Structure 1
Amino acid sequence: MTLSTTLRKSCLIALLCLGVGNAVADEAVSAIPVLDLESLQPTREQMIASLNTVELLRRHHYNRIRLDDELSSEVFDTYLRQLDPQRSLFTEADIRDFSEYRYKFDDLLQAGDLSVGFAMHTRQIQRADQRIAFARQLLSEGIDKLDFSGDQMILIDREKADWPADDSALHSLWRQQIKDEVLRLKLAGRETESIQELLEKRYANQQKRLYQTRSEDIFQNYINALAQVYDPHTQYMSPDNAENFDINMSLSLEGIGAVLQSDNDHTKIVRLVPAGPAEKSKQLAPADRIIGVAQGNSEMVDVVGWRLDEVVKLIRGPKGSTVRLEVIPASNPPSDMTSREVVLVREAVKLEDQAAKSSVLEFNEQGQDYRIGVIEVPGFYIDFKAYRRGDPDYRSTTRDVRRLLSELQEQNIDGIVLDLRNNGGGSLQEATELTGLFIGQGPSVLVRDAKGQVQVLDDPDAGVVYHGPLAVIVNKLSASASEIFAGAVQDYGRGLVIGEPTFGKGTVQSIQPLNHGELKFTLAKFYRVSGQSTQNRGVVPDILYPSLLETADFGESSLPRALPWDTIPPVPYKADNMLQVLVPQLIDRHKARAEKNPEFIYTMARIDLNRAMQEREYLPLNEERRRAEQQEFEEKLLAMENARRRALGEEPLEKLEKEDPLLETAGIPDTDDEVDAAKDPFLAETGHILIDLLQLQAQVAKAG
């Protein structure tokens, strides 16, 4: 008897038993459809698509790895992580059943046999249904019956935990998880009655969506277990999901300007689109989790456990309409479910809104006035339609920055800061041409394909638009084309790179249509002219700033099976090493200021506090202890915030505000007026570093 047949029969038997032993109220059962596992079978189109995927990956993926027993084992582990990421559904017996096929996925996939993958997913659906039924039964008895006075502890991250031994162990774990869920909501300020109602609706919705699982959903998950072992940016997209891949609403006329992805039961913000409603609100940040969506003044809909495409349908809507989001900030500790509501008006994100903008920072150092020009570059854009039709006034990053450089130089600025924070990339052509404004003619980036062939991209224009002091400020959200530009500036010694290590995405993807759906796969890798990859490590700045994202799982290096950092032979280029000689002195001056800067002190303290919270392995299920831990955290946070306020001459707070002060220093205002440096201390410090550079260069010139 095959595993598929065995699992299908065991699922049906278990479900019949479930109706007797763990049934929820009859009324609730009758309100939901019957779980139909027999209909979840692979189709001929899916079988052909799987064969095409295997062949495409074998022939064209950058990571030339064989589909053999070793890779089969990795596909097996990846699929298990997809099906049960917190090891809270399968038992040891389930894993023993599955393990018979650990080294057979390669043979099955190359034969187009999808039965084992479907059978494993079917078992997961059965277990998820059992968990939901267990939760609904527990809730029907009343959450006031749960005991929060004992010494129980719950493991926060079960990704590497032992699998539950049997059904009894599963039930014990599920009870702990539900108690933890109730406790998190209690600590977030919800009343018992509200928690009861919320969780009843949540689990009913989750069961409804579980019963809506389609064969297509199973196939996409299974084939992606194969795709993801090649690298995290390789992905199969079903016909329905191809349009919404990564849910990038930046190109939608009805979006909020955010890139979203699923994160277990939550919808997580990956990136904010420059000049989009979400970014302009200054109330959202990457890694925030959306747990509720409402239209206008309508009731908030809980979306925990929802499919990503369904959450997106709720968020999207007519231009000019209002959407309300209930969000758990990324800055919250793991146990804190406290949320805030963000109100956004949907609107089109226009090219001119995303265009580069300039401003001026004014300083007085040792009695001397300095003017530092700032150019904020939200993305590497180009109006392809206007460019292709030969419009001489087409918009692009390089053309806009060229104009802004000219305008700033007419204002007698002493240096330029190019702000690439939160710039997720864009046109490779623009990254190359923008580099040419500062270095003149020469190579800017290397592209290596799967065959090892290297293409050198350079700027054909020998002219340099700006010769003066230059700093490029980056952060963890600066990615792709931003990393290419920053890496070239650093390699040529043309300017200082300041801020946080960048995201680390140094790969190139292509989308290949299949008979059924599409495959996005990695086919090349970027390298700097020095031969260093931007992959995985990103660009490490000359002068580092602290970042809260350093304590979060964020960036390419946090992704499973990310391609490694490596090097290839450099290409000939003319580098100026004078800046590097001065970097140690610039770092010393920066550190002396940072030790007295309230914003830097606050950020470092927040990093230490967040890291301590994230390093905890267990949480108490005792309400009194849990409240004491949360109060201790909030007291520390309040003390840090008030220390910052006193140092800035502001009134201290009696209690914490909902707004995070770090969100207020995310970028510069959308204005051409002079900038208040106090509103963005990291940008202001970059200006100070440029002034340090000017002073040190003057000393060197005088000594020479």
Structure 2
Amino acid sequence: MSIAERIMTRHSELDNPLKHLFRAVSIGLVLTLSAQASATAESTDTAYEPVAPTVDQARANILIARQLQFTHFRDMGINDDLSSDVFDAYLDYLDGQHIYLTQEDINQFSAVRDSLGSALKTGQLQPGFDIYNLVQQRIIERLNFAINVIESGIDKLDFETDEQILVDRSEADWEADAAALDNLWIKRIKNAVLAQRLNGSDDEEITKALLRRYEGQLKRTRQARSEDAFQAYMNAFAGMWDPHTSYFSPRTSENFNINMSLSLEGIGAVLQSDNEYTKVVRLVPGGPASKQGQLQPADRIVSVRQEDKEEAVNVIGWRLDEVVDLIRGPKQSTVTLEVIPSDAADETVTKTIAIKRDEVKLEEQSASSDVIELDRSGKTFRIGVITIPTFYADFKAMQDGDPNYKSTTRDVRNLINDLKQEGIDGIVMDVRNNGGGALHEANDLVGLFIEEGPTVQIRNSNNDVKVLEDQDPSVTYDGPLVVLVNRMSASASEIFAGAIQDYGRGLVVGSQTFGKGTVQAVRPLNHGQLKITQSKFYRVSGGSTQHKGVIPDIEIPSRVDKTRIGEDALDHALPWDQIEAVPHERYFDFSGVIDELRVRHDERFAEHPEFRLLQKEIDFLKQQREKTTVSLNLVEREAYQSQVERARLTIANARREIRGEEPFDTLEQLDDWQDMQAADVDSTDDDLDFIIEEGGNIMADMLELDQRMASILTPKQITAQARSH
């Protein structure tokens, strides 16, 4: 039986409402293949069984549609315009790099582009499943084509031509037909071969590695389940409202609940699907990956190897829950991840990271403190530094009535009191890389620095506004304050930093924060769960933390690529907007000193060797990211890789010179040293973080420029002077 006949038989049994369209697509599928791909498709005809929707999924679809229309924060109906957007998002989810489908395929589906909305309203899932089945069939054809090319001998590939390949094809046009796609895939294979040759692998090793990769992906594709299609389709649909609204299948719901309870023994990383890859969203503070230090947000996982296995398992194309299961494992065992770094020039650049699994312990997420001393013109300033990795609370101990239960606010209050006993002149609060946590802890933490007053506003989809307040008039610390933030400071961190800024209680220093200003609720369905955005955060000054985040008073550039990480980098993110401010005190007006503070900061950083090096790294990473193509010519590629390696080695050795350490002679020495450092999770870097040092220097500037803060006045005194300023 031919592909078209088999698919049509299956769909006639399902009473497919799009059978005429699907017949055209299926016949087109056969007719447009090259002879080689056609033969391959025939040989795998029985390998893929098209998946079909279930009654439970149809019911869940109807419930999801109702929830999205009537309870989501964004007021949006389901219409023809939405249908087209869902269509594009669904194809992007299934083939985000435009490497499986052709323009001919897209044209054949044009009839359903404008009708998906009405079908989704009423639980008619077949159109989405038809698209899914065709994409899986196309993936099988492409993978078989790649396997045939590799088995024919990679030594036959030509690396002397002046060819280029796009690094990112997400915005590229679809290839016209199967023949054009064949040419693209030959380029992709050449790119993969080149990358591995330049990493020192011989052709036999490369052949085995690529065959293992493509055959593994082929196996997973053939095992596609109805739930895979449904989850992909529902997430494309739900993602129209905002990127944090998503559907969890029953299996994914189980993993979500495990992660929320922090009882998972694993690496301490939050993962999500990103087309064919599993991507790192964030690291759990105090978790194994965070302490190991090499894994970073936006890294994409290529393979996973257990400590008792010689070969890694390629996980490209795997379901998220299966990747999570593979990474999860016994405490103290080691898992090795091969990842495409977030700053890699293209997807052929990978590195391996070994992480020892462990539980994420609450005490390892706890706030901590230190004291730094800065000499200025004969005077020594003692600056307290409090680092807060996350906003935490031991809810169980709290419910059990334990008077000594741990929480962010309780711990920070104790640390502040200890620092005051040590005679500090000011405090730097470090919430860099703090992805949020317990909202009430952010509210209570603000209360340590102000008298009673509002801390954050929360508006729901009915435009009802709830104001959270600090109702405790006591102030734990009334002296000079700096808050350090970066792009990975999100949610509760942004609420805290924004409130400190709005109250004029301290200066915010660093880079623009993430911009996560929405609140989600998880709602059960008859089949799985729906995580849906229901509210939005607003600062006491009225501006939302959504999309824009918190803009620092003094900015320090970051290595993080804001076009890839942050709320404004996400599709369909809710916009920034503003509501009415709520009455609040203004403790200090920095307008009289901020310009001078910025001038001093700029002058200091211009001469600081660590900052100059940071700027070099940022420029280097920017050049890498701006490179849209890579050469498939061996000589050109070797020259480019040598240039990149020299830049990496130069930057690493410049940092070692600053620290008085011997330089590395080769890149291999650098890589070996980094692996050794990462493997020692108990090692600490005694060198002062120069950004913390700069926070202290800005504090010292504040003390020098304004004696009102040098004497650590009470909030009421500061308020009175600020008003007269």
- The two structures have a TM-score, normalised by structure 1, of 0.93
Change (3 A) 1:103 1:19: closer
Cα distance in 1, alignment partners of residues 45 and 697 from structure 2: 65
Is the contact made by 2:150 and 2:211 (CA closer than 8 Å) also made in structure 1?
A: yes
Q: 2:549 aligns with which of 516, 538, 547?
A: 538
Residues 1:108 and 2:119 are matched in the alignment = yes
Change (3 A) 1:670 1:556: farther
Is the contact made by 1:283 and 1:659 (CA closer than 8 Å) also made in structure 2?
A: no
Q: 1:658 aligns with which of 663, 671, 675?
A: 671
Q: Alpha-carbon deviations, 1:210-262, whole Å to 9, x = none?
A: 01111111011112111001000011111111123499488134111111122
Residue in 2 aligned with 1:22?
37
Residue in 2 aligned with 1:337?
349
Is the contact made by 2:343 and 2:625 (CA closer than 8 Å) also made in structure 1?
A: no
Cα distance in 2, alignment partners of residues 485 and 75 from structure 1: 36
Q: Alpha-carbon deviations, 1:53-72, whole Å to 9, x = none?
A: 11111110000011111111
Cα distance in 2, alignment partners of residues 621 and 300 from structure 1: 28
Q: 1:690 aligns with which of 684, 699, 716?
A: 699
Residue in 2 aligned with 1:163?
174
Cα distance in 2, alignment partners of residues 418 and 653 from structure 1: 35
Residues 1:137 and 2:148 are matched in the alignment = yes
Gaps of 5+ in 2: 1-15, 712-720
Residues 1:404 and 2:419 are matched in the alignment = no
Gaps of 5+ in 1: none
Residue in 1 aligned with 2:714?
none
Residues 1:172 and 2:187 are matched in the alignment = no
Cα distance in 1, alignment partners of residues 356 and 153 from structure 2: 39
What is the identity, as a one-letter code, of the residue corresponding to 1:566?
Answer: D
Change (3 A) 1:596 1:522: same
Cα distance in 2, alignment partners of residues 500 and 163 from structure 1: 37
Q: CA deviation at 1:190?
A: 2.4
Q: CA deviation at 1:511?
A: 1.0
Cα distance in 2, alignment partners of residues 68 and 139 from structure 1: 46
Identity %: 48
Change (3 A) 1:19 1:619: closer
Q: Alpha-carbon deviations, 1:471-506, whole Å to 9, x = none?
A: 111111111000000000000010111111111100
Q: CA deviation at 1:50?
A: 0.7
Is the contact made by 2:340 and 2:349 (CA closer than 8 Å) also made in structure 1?
A: yes
Cα distance in 1, alignment partners of residues 677 and 72 from structure 2: 42
Residues 1:150 and 2:165 are matched in the alignment = no
Cα distance in 2, alignment partners of residues 108 and 297 from structure 1: 49
Change (3 A) 1:566 1:664: farther
Residue in 2 aligned with 1:571?
582
Change (3 A) 1:85 1:335: closer
Residues 1:63 and 2:74 are matched in the alignment = yes
Q: Alpha-carbon deviations, 1:82-114, whole Å to 9, x = none?
A: 121111211122111111122211211122211
Q: 1:642 aligns with which of 646, 649, 653?
A: 653
Change (3 A) 1:307 1:275: same
Q: Alpha-carbon deviations, 1:539-560, whole Å to 9, x = none?
A: 1111111111135511111000
Residues 1:48 and 2:63 are matched in the alignment = no
Residues 1:612 and 2:623 are matched in the alignment = yes
How many correspondences in the alignment?
Answer: 693
Q: 1:373 aligns with which of 369, 384, 394?
A: 384
- Structure 2 SS opposite 1:62: coil
Q: 1:506 aligns with which of 517, 524, 527?
A: 517
Q: Alpha-carbon deviations, 1:677-698, whole Å to 9, x = none?
A: x431111111111111111112
Cα distance in 2, alignment partners of residues 601 and 479 from structure 1: 27
Q: CA deviation at 1:16?
A: 11
Residue in 1 aligned with 2:602?
591
Cα distance in 2, alignment partners of residues 165 and 284 from structure 1: 38
Q: Alpha-carbon deviations, 1:3-29, whole Å to 9, x = none?
A: 345436854895799797337999xx9
Q: Over aligned residue pairs, what C-alpha RMSD do you find?
A: 2.8
Change (3 A) 1:555 1:203: same
- Structure 2 SS opposite 1:464: coil
Cα distance in 2, alignment partners of residues 249 and 57 from structure 1: 23
Change (3 A) 1:701 1:480: closer
Is the contact made by 1:250 and 1:276 (CA closer than 8 Å) also made in structure 2?
A: no
What is the identity, as a one-letter code, of the residue corresponding to 1:636?
Answer: A
Residues 1:287 and 2:298 are matched in the alignment = yes
Cα distance in 2, alignment partners of residues 521 and 295 from structure 1: 36
Q: 1:275 aligns with which of 245, 263, 286?
A: 286
Cα distance in 2, alignment partners of residues 600 and 375 from structure 1: 22
What is the identity, as a one-letter code, of the residue corresponding to 2:18?
Answer: L
- Structure 1 SS opposite 2:304: strand
Residue in 2 aligned with 1:3?
18
Residue in 2 aligned with 1:36?
48
Structure 1 window deviating more from structure 2 (86-95 vs 193-202): it is 86-95
- The two structures have a TM-score, normalised by structure 2, of 0.90
Structure 1 window deviating more from structure 2 (331-340 vs 77-86): it is 331-340
Q: 1:241 aligns with which of 244, 252, 256?
A: 252
Structure 1 window deviating more from structure 2 (525-534 vs 386-395): it is 386-395
Cα distance in 2, alignment partners of residues 2 and 335 from structure 1: 39
Residue in 2 aligned with 1:206?
217
Cα distance in 1, alignment partners of residues 261 and 293 from structure 2: 17
Is the contact made by 2:84 and 2:114 (CA closer than 8 Å) also made in structure 1?
A: yes
Residue in 2 aligned with 1:349?
360
Q: Alpha-carbon deviations, 1:605-624, whole Å to 9, x = none?
A: 11112112211222211111
